[in-house]
Chain A
């Protein structure tokens, strides 16, 4: 994983080369400094030289010291630049992959989790690039250079360093192995503690009402304390290996110093060489020790990278959602035919839709009806090419009678023929007009105004800028903007998912009239309808139904990703669904109950996402509050 992060693309290569060059320059300067120092001290002490005799050496020393400060400054800047570039690049690739997978991914991976990865998650790479990589470079270069230099002047000191330095990486690996699991557990427990604190603070009113607030003070202290005791016990062992590492480094330096001292006393060695060895020896251990200290930063970075690469690999391992063929759809479409389409819903023991068939010709409005959960929206997904049918197919029929499976069509070309309005249309935080132009960037102002008027939103100013997720608009207005967006697209195929839900009778009439006008201009219109008004407007209605797959079919396909807790959540969700099902008592209540049931299911599905979003918001707030981490 580290290798992949380092070699990843060409983005980091140039910067890494500069980082290595700076590392080499720093090493050269360190050796030069040691030699100059040794020379100056030896000359002044034993040779009795004065400042005037040493001017040149002192000037050189000043330049070397200045150079070292500048090199460490530059390598820090370079590291951050690499990090920023890699992050931007990974971010762009992640977003592109996630958006391309979007229609499919939405069901499997929450947007909030991906957003968290793209923002805070990738920030963990800073530690990897800005702190770990520079040290890694130094750790590879400096010890070797030091040993070579020492060998040239004092073989014994060189041997002492050469024998002990390789032990450090060995111990570092041991430390890594030993403490990684400790630390993981520790962070997890720390996270739980912080969560518990947050939970108790949030629930303070409730605790007070039940007279339990005071008891929690002691409980908080007790839990943190028990955690502290157990953690310290494991840390005693984890830090032990760090201590061995530290001892190794300092004792080696002490050994060099004593050895040099003894040989000096015996007259086997000159002072200049002795001082050179003494100043240089610690330099061999410093980068290795610092590397050990940055181990954690590296691991965090690697963990974040693992998530990122997993998503990228997942995306690369399969085609983007949508039709995956290469064929051009016919220039004119004579009919859209759904032939016995069934889709097995992951995690639910059902096929929904089950064997849906319908043919729609230009100029026709066909309504899909059926109870909630029957798979009407899924069927639209199959037509779009976002969902692969378990069996059956959707074909477009050309005027000459040839028919093409939509799965064989070029995705972009096919989607360009469709105007799709989902149940809750996406609204970008831009103006109403720009939202309507999202699918038709070249639409004129008159076209936008015409579309707005057609859906009964003539009084909404087109230049009004929307808030986050269309805040400031009612649910009905949002839907109608979605419909208006599909109108300006002038597409031959219109797919509308409950376009009139939540609209009053007047607005519903206007929207349906606009849809009818699209059919009259020759569009194929397929709409999901719950309400009698929409059904009445359709030329035909087709019932979509679902089918249980029986007790034998274990559908726990997502089980390996499921933790026990999630499985429980599923159990609760299912119970909810049953309750909602029971409530669907009579025909009049059907629509309401269906919506409620759908909402509840959607809520349950989105609950995890909401938690993620909350985490994101909280983190944003915390980071905003605490400022950038140094």
Chain B
């Protein structure tokens, strides 16, 4: 629950809107209760056949509540939706802003699509916390409390009974439902997953299952899983039904006990006869208003789990300590220098890289070799100041001065040092959108030149819509090679002095890779280029100099030690 509170704080900027929605909601619920109570009073009083003017106020009240309820409900709906959208925007922006400070080194284990999708689902799902739980709870709760006060004024015992039964509906019913359904619900999610898996397997294998005559057996297996799911669903429904039963019994009890005490009170004169109708009928309206809260409250446990995951993420330590008074990045052509550089990911005990020594002179094209798992991507992350060195020194070296990377601001470093990642993200937009990310002001010629170097020009020109072609989610409409080339074009377009390329030839075939290396050397003229690859033999032309082999760092360190 403390996680829920922490996440609730994210919605704080929207508080006025939320209050507006609650206000309208209280009004609407109040009108519903008021309509019943006033009508009851009106009819009871009218039965005593008083003069007409004695009923006028009640008649006006009944009409006003009848009209007010519809209008206020309309206002509540609009205000609640407006507030929910604002909350969603806040939640997304706030969680994104936190994530942006962590990425990519602080989110290393979130690389898997599943976890990320779950996180995004968690954040979006938390908007439900306001719209479906908190707003109804607040408005119905306040209106019910007001009704309890009115009834208490008429007959204290009836007020107490009403209060107890409302609590039973809002708190007791969801608890009872949860207790009954817990066992079944725990099996629900795994059963759903198993069904999805078996169904997909069977559909994938359909042609062979048919050919082998094994389809009936496979279908029977799916049906067995489906039956297990149905059992779990029925168990879960039994829980929800129990909630309904508890709420229904509470509502009935409120009505019955109110009447019983009301009759006794009328007999001993502590309640006016007219008040009996009000005391007896008001609980019906109150329970109608609070009944939807029980299912809403049942969302809370799942939301608390979501909130916990989001909070865990938002309270992670940042992987980089930004300097209090940042030094300027050296001007002029830049090189890189590493001395006994050690890097480790936050929260881990082992070095992901190092110790290594590296010298990349300004304007040089250097190839660092490393098999997978030897820390290539870690070195790239350190060069872009996504990670702080755990030991040793990493410097940006200008013609006049060198600067320790830890004295620079991360954003300043990344204006000077660019990266083409090993597994680049292609955004769901057009080819042009993805390119201009690197340089929003890029001209058509610049885009074309970058595409040419990356070997994507012919492809782009061949498309009916050219650069306005949508690339699909994660670039799904491009082949692996095309995605890689798009990322290269993007990196080349960025106006940086040092370009770090992590496995740039990964998805290219031999011929394309060799052509690319030649183009890269040309495009990189005047820039410092650092290539991290497990295929250094591709970069054997003149103009490429060989840096250290990360796999041999142990030997290297030993040599330095001696």
Contact = CB atoms under 8 A, between A and B. Distances in A.
A and B interact: yes
B101 to A, nearest CB: 9
Given A242-B77, A628-B189, A438 B212 contact: yes
B230 A84 contact: yes
Interface stretch (A98-106, A135-143, A472-480, A548-556): A98-106
B263 A44 contact: yes
Interface in A111-132: 111-112, 114-116, 118-120, 130
B209 interface: yes
B157 interface: no
A246 B480 CA distance: 56
B465 A568 contact: yes
B104 A73 contact: no
Interface string B178-197: 00000001001110110111
B276 A278 contact: no
A250 B35 contact: yes
B113 A439 contact: no
A608 B300 CA distance: 35
B16 interface: no
Interface string B72-94: 01100110011001101110110
Contacts of A267: 49
A264 B46 contact: yes
Contact of A206 (B47, B93, B236, B424): B424
B226 to A, nearest CB: 5
Nearest to A44: B263
Interface residues of B, number: 171
Interface stretch (A457-465, A508-516, A523-531, A619-627): A619-627
A41 B259 contact: yes
A448 B245 CA distance: 57
B425 interface: yes
Contacts of B463: 568, 571-572, 575
B421 A209 contact: yes
Given A45-B273, A264-B43, A199 B473 contact: yes
Given A99-B203, A208-B386, A568-B465, A51 B192 contact: no
B289 to A, nearest CB: 12
Contacts of A224: 85, 88-89, 92-93
A92 B465 CA distance: 44
A65 interface: yes
Contact of A415 (B115, B210, B267, B480): B210
Contacts of B142: none
Interface string A605-630: 00110110110111011111111101
B12 interface: no
B371 interface: no
A216 interface: yes
B218 interface: yes
Nearest to B76: A239
Contacts of A624: 189-190, 192-193
B189 A66 contact: no
Interface in A418-446: 418, 420, 422, 425-429, 438-439, 441
B353 to A, nearest CB: 17
B69 interface: yes
A251 B210 contact: no
B306 A626 contact: yes
B496 to A, nearest CB: 9
B544 interface: no
B233 A469 contact: no
A583 B494 CA distance: 31
A560 to B, nearest CB: 19
A539 B179 CA distance: 71
B462 A575 contact: yes
B438 interface: yes
A253 interface: yes
Interface in B384-432: 384, 386, 411, 414-415, 418-419, 421, 424-425, 427-428
Contacts of B119: 201
A621 B210 contact: no
A235 to B, nearest CB: 6
Interface stretch (A10-18, A75-83, A361-369): A75-83
Nearest to A624: B189
A46 interface: yes
B346 interface: no
B150 interface: no
B249 A66 contact: yes
B201 interface: yes
B476 interface: yes
A253 B35 contact: yes
Nearest to B465: A568
A347 interface: no
Interface in B250-277: 251-253, 255-256, 259-260, 262-264, 266-267, 273-274, 276-277
Given A58-B260, A429-B201, A438-B214, A625 B122 contact: yes
B63 interface: yes
A607 B446 CA distance: 31
A235 B100 contact: no
Interface string B462-506: 111100011011101111101000010010001000000000000
Nearest to A227: B85
Contact of A412 (B200, B213, B253, B487): B213
Nearest to B298: A630
Contacts of B509: 583, 596
A345 to B, nearest CB: 17
Contacts of A243: 70-71, 73-74
B59 to A, nearest CB: 5
B215 interface: yes
Given A386-B207, A628-B189, A469 B201 contact: yes
A314 interface: no
B66 A253 contact: yes
Nearest to B217: A441
Given A224-B85, A232-B81, A626-B121, A102 B74 contact: no
B234 A80 contact: yes
- For B123, B125, B212, the residue with the greatest tally of chain A CB atoms inside 10 Å of its CB is B212
Contacts of A76: 237, 240-241, 244
A87 interface: yes
A225 interface: yes
Given A51-B263, A65-B251, A258-B59, 5 more contacts: A72-B248, A80-B237, A250-B65, A254-B66, A427-B205
| The 9 nearest A-B residue pairs measured at CB | A102-B206, A69-B248, A254-B66, A65-B252, A426-B205, A247-B70, A205-B104, A80-B237, A439-B212
24 contacts: A41-B280, A84-B233, A88-B223, A95-B223, A106-B207, A130-B237, A197-B120, A201-B116, A206-B425, A210-B418, A228-B85, A239-B74, A240-B74, A247-B67, A254-B62, A257-B62, A271-B47, A275-B44, A439-B211, A575-B463, A610-B476, A620-B193, A627-B302, A630-B299
